Amino acid sequence: MVTYNDGDLRTNPNTTIDLDGEDGNAFALLSLASSVAKRCKYSKDKSDRLQKDMMSSDYKNLVRRLDREFGSVLTFVTSDEELVAACKGGSNE
């Protein structure tokens, strides 16, 4: 789930990724996806397809795809309202 960050993180810090911080850069998110996929026992092929899909477009697509795949076990927070809207199916611009 991608949520708006008003500065009050009440979620478990072990499952919360701050997209506004250093853990929110594209390379960190790709690494996170790989790690979570391994913990979820994804096949190498499935993990590779996910990585390829995440890298196929822009940052919003990467976050949207990661949220769609692992949003049940990870929470992403950001102060970027456009990113939140894009991940909820809003504008991609």
- Region class of 43: left (phi > 0), else alpha (psi between -120 and 50), else beta: beta
Determine contact, residues 62/4, Cβ cutoff 8 Å.
Answer: no
Considering the domain boundaries, does residue 29 fall inside one? Answer: yes
Considering the domain boundaries, does residue 93 fall inside one? Answer: no
Structure tokens at 38: 């391994």
Considering the domain boundaries, does residue 60 fall inside one? Answer: yes
pLDDT (tens digit, 0 to 9) for every residue of the chain, 93 residues total?
A: 555 444 443 444 457 889 999 989 999 999 999 988 988 899 999 999 999 999 999 999 999 999 999 888 888 889 999 889 888 875 444
* Total tally of structural domains belonging to the chain: 1
**Alpha-carbon distance 90 to 21, whole Å?**
23
What pTM does this model have? Answer: 0.78
Which residue range(s) make up the domain with 50? 2-87
Considering the domain boundaries, does residue 73 fall inside one? Answer: yes
Considering the domain boundaries, does residue 92 fall inside one? Answer: no
With H, G, I as helix, E, B as strand and everything else as coil, classify residue 77: strand
